């Protein structure tokens, strides 16, 4: 039976239950034939207040689709997302955007080039009418200073800022309504490495100052390790492993997680190097009718039963969940 996956001792701010999302995609322009792509195939997950939950996996694993559904930017095919116990899809979208905000990957593309930084940051305040118009300018100036920009930069346009500063504008806009949750979708992957650490540290400071909960979506295992309290590893629309940060990095149980981690370069080359288990092939097309484990075709540990039976996500150790016959059978 579907139920949210997480600790029974903590109270969740978000509960995701049996979430599925299928897209119909046109296969041939002339034939008009369409195929079904299973972006999410039954996700169960809880998110706790003030934590950073990392969602990690290769491109196409469903992590961004999950983020979009939590923002109610799309409708699920099946399943529910509860926010403080209320179904997110019954919320008015505008009311929900006060509570849950998004930080985009590409600050260049996500900011309107015809609006000044002040207008971009102040727009949600105006739309939601959370402050009298006369006060908004001062509120915007304060928010800009909070994210490390100067109030004098309020009248500049996005192209007059550096990449890191543009991401600070995106972050300022996201926190302007004092949301409870921020979904950060690859927030530093478009930035120079030298700037990434500054933005990540800013996000950590803001979390402490405002009691934010982050859902942090990334393909970068170094970034997710730096940021996350817990990490969910996704593969082809499923969570295959979920654990506390340290448990996942020290004792990964799923062959996919182990392969991902073994591909991360060691900071101490030649010292205590773990056996490398490089991933072969790509994430296969999920449009096929998968009858067994979705990782079957790439798994070096596969067994006969893996082809026929889908492994359930089970709690192997306290707070450490894994979906693999190899582990759950032991």
Residues that bind ligand SF4 (CB under 6 A): 255, 293, 295-296, 299, 301-303, 306, 311, 324-326
Strand partners of residue 23: 37
CB of 298 to ligand SF4, least distance (A): 8
Residue with tokens 């001792």: 9
Neighbours of 170 (CB within 10 A): 25
Q: Which is nearer to ligand SF4, 216 or 256 (CB)?
A: 256
CB of 172 to ligand SF4, least distance (A): 42
Q: Which is nearer to ligand SF4, 91 or 296 (CB)?
A: 296
Which pair of structure tokens corresponds to residue 115? 């609006």
Q: Which is nearer to ligand SF4, 120 or 259 (CB)?
A: 259
Q: Alpha-carbon distance 238 to 312, whole Å?
A: 10
Chain centre to alpha carbon of residue 287: 23
Answer whether 140's CB lies under 8 Å from 179's CB. Answer: no
CB of 296 to ligand SF4, least distance (A): 4
CB of 181 to ligand SF4, least distance (A): 31
Q: Which is nearer to ligand SF4, 49 or 302 (CB)?
A: 302
To the nearest 10°, report the CA torsion of 19, 228, 94, 98: 150
The DSSP call for residue 104 is -
CB of 304 to ligand SF4, least distance (A): 9
Residue 258's φ and ψ, nearest 5 degrees, are -60, -40
Q: Which is nearer to ligand SF4, 161 or 295 (CB)?
A: 295
């Amino acid at each position: 039976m579907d139920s949210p996956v997480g600790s029974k001792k903590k109270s969740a701010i978000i509960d995701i239950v049996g979430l599925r999302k299928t897209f119909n995609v046109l296969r041939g322009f002339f034939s008009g034939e369409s195929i079904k792509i299973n972006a999410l195939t039954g996700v169960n997950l809880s998110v706790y207040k003030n934590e950073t939950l990392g969602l990690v996996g290769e491109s196409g694993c469903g992590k961004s689709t999950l983020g979009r559904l939590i923002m109610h930017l799309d409708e699920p095919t099946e399943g529910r997302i509860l926010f403080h116990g209320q179904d997110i899809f019954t919320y008015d979208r505008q009311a929900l955007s006060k509570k849950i905000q998004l930080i985009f990957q590409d600050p260049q593309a996500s900011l309107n080039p015809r609006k000044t930084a002040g207008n971009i940051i102040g727009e949600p305040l105006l739309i939601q009418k959370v402050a009298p118009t006369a006060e908004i300018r001062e509120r915007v100036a304060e928010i800009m200073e909070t994210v490390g920009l100067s109030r004098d930069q309020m009248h500049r346009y996005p192209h007059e800022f550096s990449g890191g500063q543009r991401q600070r504008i995106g972050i300022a806009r996201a926190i302007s309504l004092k949301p409870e949750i921020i979904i950060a979708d690859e927030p530093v992957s478009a930035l120079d490495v030298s700037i990434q650490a500054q933005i990540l540290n800013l996000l950590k400071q803001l979390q402490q100052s405002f009691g934010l909960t982050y859902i942090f979506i990334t393909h970068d295992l170094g970034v997710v390790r730096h940021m996350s309290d817990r990490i969910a590893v996704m593969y082809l629309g499923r969570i295959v492993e979920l654990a506390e940060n340290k448990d996942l990095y020290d004792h990964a149980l799923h062959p996919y997680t182990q392969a991902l981690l073994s591909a991360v370069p060691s900071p101490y080359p030649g010292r205590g190097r773990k056996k490398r288990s490089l991933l072969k092939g790509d994430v296969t097309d999920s449009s096929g009718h998968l009858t067994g484990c979705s990782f079957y075709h790439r798994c070096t540990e596969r067994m006969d039963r893996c082809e026929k039976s889908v492994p359930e996500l089970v709690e192997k150790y306290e707070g450490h969940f894994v979906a693999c016959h190899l582990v759950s059978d032991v």
